[in-house]
Homo-oligomer: A and B are copies of this chain.
């Protein structure tokens, strides 16, 4: 089912310079010395970036609304305002040592589309919402993709507001501190559809010289909490044979986790991302180690085999070290397809633009995963240099990114006009 896209002569002209200026201006908020960003969710910096975004969108004629979890919706009102809006969104918060495109590109691209529609004097049939979701990264408050998860009914509002950061500050307190406790009930806004443009965060598009990633669906991801329990002892006096060293056992589990990912082809991913060691003191054999393990594979059965290998590896480590190991599921996401019509529309838009494109799966978690549960949703990836991300050296070449921004605009305008 193809949707009529406006002839090119009737489409707004996006301004790359303006979009990139906005990205770089926003990157001054929370800038780090190494050229990266540290703009953790609901910090003062996040508050500044949010306000800047709202000011810009209001200057572009949008109406900004904040919901109870701090999600921001900037609406460019359409010709038939009673119809559900087409949403474009992503997030303004970053990881602790991030680049300037992850999340930000998707929000600012939405803003640029609104600006370009204004420049061209075009009104779309449906309204367009440019959305910034709260705490996508989960770097300060656990529970990543928080705002979109509450929006989609995957996470209770009260549970989200009660989540605390390492200093014990709750989401509720942090929202109040930066003045982003909105009145709109979360999830009350009906959406016609949701489109998210995001950097690929992987190397495929960049390496293959492809312009646009048309995202079919989400790689299944499963995370585990692995707890190792041994016994404290003296690091000098206790013979190796008598120890139940949780960290020595943990080191072997960490190495096994890495090997499991490497043993399952190009698509295998297996990572120990976080850990805690106790008592973590000079001279003491550690007795407690907690590991956070993240496993992903495009094939769900293959992912199942990886999980089995994790269990097997831990059993073997327990047998050899006498350290008890408990494995519990932490969270899982992905393993679904995006809306066929929306994906087809993205593909069609890229093709009409003459862009090279690849159908692919998303490896990373995104707010779009939650939106897909309540609204027809599609994602677009743009190439990022060497696939580097969550790193200050994250780089997106303006020229390489441009086809994906154009694709987003064409798909959204077509959908809003339908």
Contacts and interface: CB of A to CB of B under 8 A. Distances in A.
Contact of A281 (B233, B251, B274, B286): B274
Interface in A228-283: 231-242, 245, 247-248, 250-255, 257-258, 261-262, 266, 268-275, 277, 279-283
A277 B275 contact: yes
Contacts of A231: 391
Interface in A206-245: 219, 221, 223, 231-242, 245
A273 B281 contact: yes
Nearest to A381: B237
A181 interface: no
Size category, A interface: 35 or more
Contact of A271 (B235, B252, B261, B280): B235
A334 to B, nearest CB: 9
Contacts of A223: 282
Nearest to A274: B280
B283 A390 contact: yes
A200 interface: yes
Interface stretch (A24-32, A44-52, A63-71, A138-146): A138-146
Interface of A: 95-97, 137-139, 142, 144, 200-203, 219, 221, 223, 231-242, 245, 247-248, 250-255, 257-258, 261-262, 266, 268-275, 277, 279-287, 292, 294, 296, 363-365, 386-391
26 contacts: A95-B281, A137-B283, A144-B282, A200-B237, A201-B238, A203-B238, A219-B236, A232-B391, A233-B389, A235-B294, A236-B364, A236-B365, A237-B363, A237-B387, A238-B387, A240-B261, A241-B262, A245-B271, A248-B255, A250-B251, A251-B253, A251-B254, A251-B255, A254-B254, A273-B281, A274-B280
